Amino acid sequence: MKNAQLRPIRPEDNPALARIIREVMTEFNTVGPGYSINDPEVDHMYEAYRDPATSRYYVLEIDGKVVGGGGIGPLANGESAVCELRKMYFLPEARGQGWGRKMVSQCLEAARDLQYRKCYLETVERMETANLLYRKMGFEALCGRLGDTGHCSCDTYFVKEIESEALH
C-alpha cells in the first residue's frame, strides 16, 4: 500500500461508491427490499451528503483507487440530536487493516463537530466483523430500531453516545 487516505467525498466518486455498495451488499446477500442497496442515494452519494450543516461522507482511497466509504447524516424520522452512521462499506482488499476503525472514528468526530449527541446504525447480524468493530468502539446493541430509515430488513441496531469536547 503506497498511498492511502480517508478524504471527503467528491462528485467524481459517485460511480465507484455505487459499485462498491452494490458489490459488498451482494456479497453479504443484502439485496432485497428493505436494504440500503435500494436507496436512491446509492448513485448520488456526493449530492446526498453535501449539506455541511448535517452530513459528512468520506472515501477510502488506496493508490488512487476508491475502495470504501462511510458517512453520517441525520437519522430519518428520528430525534434531531441523533445522527446515523450510513453506507460504510469496504472492498475485501481494504478490510482487516484498521480502516473500519479509522472511518468510524472520523465519522464520530464529524458527528461531534455537528453537535450530534448520539450515533445510531443499522446492519445485519451476518456482517460479523463489522458488528465486532462497532462493539469494540463502544456502540451498544439495541433491541429495536430508532427512527424510520426504510431499512426494514436490517436485524441489528446499535447506538453510541457522542462525547463532548469538554470530556476529552
Q: Which domains, from first to last, does the chain contain?
A: 4-167 (3.40.630.30)
Instruction: Please report which residue ranges of the chain form alpha helices under DSSP H.
Output: 14-27, 45-48, 99-113, 128-136
Phi then psi for residue 9, to 5 deg, are -65, 150
Strand partners, 89: 69
Per-residue pLDDT of the chain (168 residues; tens, 9 = 90+): 579 999 999 999 999 999 999 999 999 988 877 788 888 899 999 999 999 999 999 999 999 999 999 999 999 988 999 999 999 999 999 999 999 999 999 999 999 999 999 999 999 999 999 999 999 999 999 999 998 887 888 889 999 999 865 444
Distances (CA, A) of 104 to 34, 84, 100: 23, 11, 6
Listing DSSP states for 138-165 in one string gives T-EEESS--S--S-TT--EEEEEEPPPG
Predicted local distance difference test score (pLDDT) of residue 18: 96
Q: Helices 128-136 and 99-113 meet at what angle, rounded to 10?
A: 50
pTM over 0.85: yes
CB 37 within 8 A of CB 23: no
CB 133 within 8 A of CB 105: no
